[in-house]
Amino acid sequence: MTDPNTCFDGRRGRFDGYGVLITGAARGIGAATARRLTAEGARVLVTDLDEDAARATAKEIPGAEALRCDVADRAGIEAAVAHAVDLFGGLDVLVNNAFSCAPHTARVEDLGDESWHRDLDITLGGAFRCARAAMEHLAASGRGAIVNIGSVNAEQDFGNHAYSAAKAGLASLTRTLAGDAARRGVRVNQINPGTIRTRAWAGREKSLEALAASAYPLGRVGEPEDIAAAVAYLASRDAAWVTGTTLRVDGGLLAVNTSFAAAVDGER
């Protein structure tokens, strides 16, 4: 198995002088992204609803600061953006990573209104609120970028009605924001990860192994660092002519029907 960390050559400088705000950054993809961008010179504000975890993560990352932020709270988001601008002298990159995902229900009738509204409000509404609050500062930077963290659930049925609808909505918001922001020199893109080894899968190693073998052409599930590397590309000037796109980082999950191929091979 290839270690995703070996894909990063340790070079610095791509984000020298950049100020970055990441939501939902205490753990998983958000924390990995904070580590990656600071390793390339950025200063990062690690925000999360779990303030203690955010501070613990930021403490381990040179160039990172922490702040509690609830993306359901417009005033709290605006305060977080203002704090980042004060800390860094501006804001260059926003990474919308915070989300909510209610447990999957076997029948849609069992999904309550509260779960539906929460998933959409945090996952989709939160990204909108953050983009709205950050846009003028991103435009002022002259190199502003927003990277939204979506999901393969936005493109295919993997369960979780509300979460999937919110991620699909996020892809649409990415496109409309890109059109709005392009005139101000701000790029907006989305990443749709496949299965990523985060704490949501803690204690379920056998399930991850089964998924890697049966669903993923590249033979493994993703690591947070795989997504962080894609964020680093889309947030950087290397992607200066990329906006309004959704980049799949899914190990080939959506491109190759492995179960179909296995069934056909079994008949040969």
Instruction: Please count the other Cβ atoms lying within 10 Å of the Cβ belonging to residue 43.
Output: 21
Contact between 93 and 147 (Cβ < 8 Å): yes
Burial class of residue 242 (count of CB atoms within 10 Å of its CB; 0-12, 13-18, 19+): middle
Largest CA distance in the chain: 65
Tell me which of 18, 163, 216, 233 is the catalytic residue.
163
Q: In the numeric block, which tokens belong to residue 25? A: 């950054």
CA 108 to chain centre: 27
Query: What is the spatial distance between Cα 195 and Cα 154, in angstroms, rounded to a whole number?
Result: 13
- DSSP H or E segment with residue 51: helix 51-59
Asked whether 113 and 209 are in contact (CB, 8 A), the reply is no
Q: How many CA atoms lie within 13 A of 118 on its CB side?
A: 11
Which run of H or E residues covers position 190?
strand 187-193
For residues 123 and 100, the answer to whether their CB atoms sit within 8 Å is yes
163 an active-site residue? yes
- For residue 102, give the 3-state DSSP assignment: coil
SS3 4: helix
Active-site residue set: 163
